[in-house]
Amino acid sequence: MTEKLFLFDIDGTLLSPGPSARKAINQAIENFTGIPPNLQIKDVAGMTDRLIVKNALEKSGTDGDITEVINNIINDYLILFENTYLESKEAFVFEDALNLVHKVKENGLSLALLTGNVKRGAQIKLGRFDLMKHFSFGAFGDDGETRNDLPIVAQNRAQKMLGKTYEFDEIVLVGDTPEDAIAAKVNGCKSIVVCRRQEWYDDIVKAGADLIVESLDDPIIKI
């Protein structure tokens, strides 16, 4: 069996956090700038947490070295988010994604996370549904500014955590946005993109996804 490393995105792929995450990051940014950024799905999907905040700050006119500002806003966001997410009735797990996780594990292949969430945010989101137990490591939004920066982080961590060297063409990114496909393509990885929003389909095709499915239960997915 060919060695493969499957890297799973979180939001829109493994689970939906409902509106609580976007509301919390909106509030954290407004707390600093005094201006509500009114973030829409297009402003956050496929982005890292740090890039979401950076873009919002730039739009508000904040300039100079904003690294510390971003750190403070993200810390504020995590506090706000954790306080609301655990009570949210709108968060749920995508069962087809969980089925694929089990399928990968049953076939003796490796898996990890590749997500724009900072690590603590990922732990909060997955922890609610006891999903962190499936992932011993990952590449997170605090490891790079864009999603394109993360595959090499995951590759290096796989070497450290698993003692295995995966070539990029042995790494499969599982996501739901055009950005997942782009991150795979620019790094020479493979991609499986589940199209949960039909309006994104054309952009996912343009991004060069290797495999586009409507469900991660699709038998066309070969492990």
Encode 115-143 in three state secondary structure. CCCCHHHHHHHHHCCCCHHHCCCEECCCC
**DSSP annotation of 19:** T
- How does residue 86 score in pLDDT terms, banded at 50, 70 and 90? confident
- How does residue 20 score in pLDDT terms, banded at 50, 70 and 90? very high
Q: In the prediction, which pLDDT does 122 show?
A: 98
Closest CA to 145 of 39, 70, 69: 70
- How does residue 60 score in pLDDT terms, banded at 50, 70 and 90? confident
Q: In the prediction, which pLDDT does 63 show?
A: 74
pLDDT tens across 90-99, in order? Answer: 999 999 999 9
pLDDT tens across 25-41, in order? Answer: 999 999 999 999 999 98
Show me where the domains of the chain are located.
5-17+91-213, 20-85
| Residue 134 half-sphere exposure toward CB, CA atoms < 13 A | 26
pLDDT tens across 135-178, in order? Answer: 999 999 999 999 999 999 999 999 999 999 999 999 999 999 99
The Cβ of residue 87 has, within 10 Å, a number of other Cβ atoms equal to 8
Residues 150 and 112 sit within 8 Å (Cβ to Cβ): no
Q: How far apart are CA 127 and CA 14, in angstroms?
A: 12
Lowest-pLDDT choice from 35-39, 64-68, 165-169, 192-196 = 64-68
pLDDT(48) > 60: yes
Quote the Cα angle for 187-190-195, to 5°: 115
Q: Report the first-to-last Cα separation within the chain, whole angstroms.
A: 9
pLDDT(2) > 90: no
Q: In the prediction, which pLDDT does 213 show?
A: 98
Query: HEC states along 37-104?
Result: CCCCHHHHCCCCHHHHHHHHHHHHCCCCCCHHHHHHHHHHHHHHHHHHHCCCCCCEECHHHHHHHHHH
pLDDT(183) > 80: yes
Residue with tokens 């089925």: 99
Q: In the prediction, which pLDDT does 65 show?
A: 81
Closest CA to 142 of 55, 52, 57: 52
Taking the whole predicted model, whether its pTM rises above 0.85 is answered as yes
Burial level of 186, CB count in 10 A (0-12/13-18/19+)?
middle
Q: How far apart are CA 27 and CA 222, in angstroms?
A: 42
Closest CA to 14 of 108, 130, 119, 160: 130
- How does residue 214 score in pLDDT terms, banded at 50, 70 and 90? very high
- How does residue 18 score in pLDDT terms, banded at 50, 70 and 90? very high
CATH T-level topology, domain 5-17+91-213: Rossmann fold (3.40.50)
pLDDT(1) > 60: no
